[in-house]
Amino acid sequence: MEKLLTTTLLICCLTVFGQEKKSEETIFVVKEEQAIFFGCEKIGGKTAREKCTYQKIYEYIGKNIDSKLAIKEGIKGKYKIKVTIKIDREGNISETITDSEHKKIDRKIKKSFKKFPQMIPNKQNNIKRATSFTIPLILIGK
């Protein structure tokens, strides 16, 4: 009985894989046009626009996240955090995710990104798409 069940399962698996067709869908790994800050769209070249966008993101962080946050929370040394901001189809932040283990730091970083300016959304085949940015931050404690 056990051999019959094993043989039947093997035949079914072979039949399913034998009938499999290649997909005609195209999967995009590279973004055609990355979401960018307003003002960066005027810069020539995709790489230069992306560099400008990251520069503006870090300028925003420098102005809106307290540089003494780690000290205030009693953290010693360097405290590394990854912040992921999700940008919706309209260019607005839809979610902010951090990998911080400190709830107060997590809350303050998320709160600071609520005022993040609207961006020009990501495009793929000239269609607006949601995207995300992952930003490494290092907070310096005592």
Residue 23 is predicted with a pLDDT of 40
Query: What are the backbone angles phi and psi of residue 64, rounded to the nearest 5°?
Result: -115, -10
Residue 109 is predicted with a pLDDT of 93
Q: What is the pTM of this model?
A: 0.70
d(C-alpha 125, C-alpha 28), whole Å: 10
Residue type, 83: V
Residue 2 is predicted with a pLDDT of 46
Measured CA angle at 57 (ends 53, 60), to 5 deg: 135
Residue 19 is predicted with a pLDDT of 41
Residues 90/118, Cβ–Cβ less than 8 Å: yes
Residue ranges of the chain whose pLDDT lies below 50: 1-29
The CATH number of domain 31-140, selected from 3.30.300, 3.30.70, 3.30.2420, 1.20.140: 3.30.2420
Residues 108/73, Cβ–Cβ less than 8 Å: no
Residues 56/39, Cβ–Cβ less than 8 Å: yes
Residue 86 is predicted with a pLDDT of 95
Q: Using DSSP, state whether 137 is helix, strand or coil.
A: strand
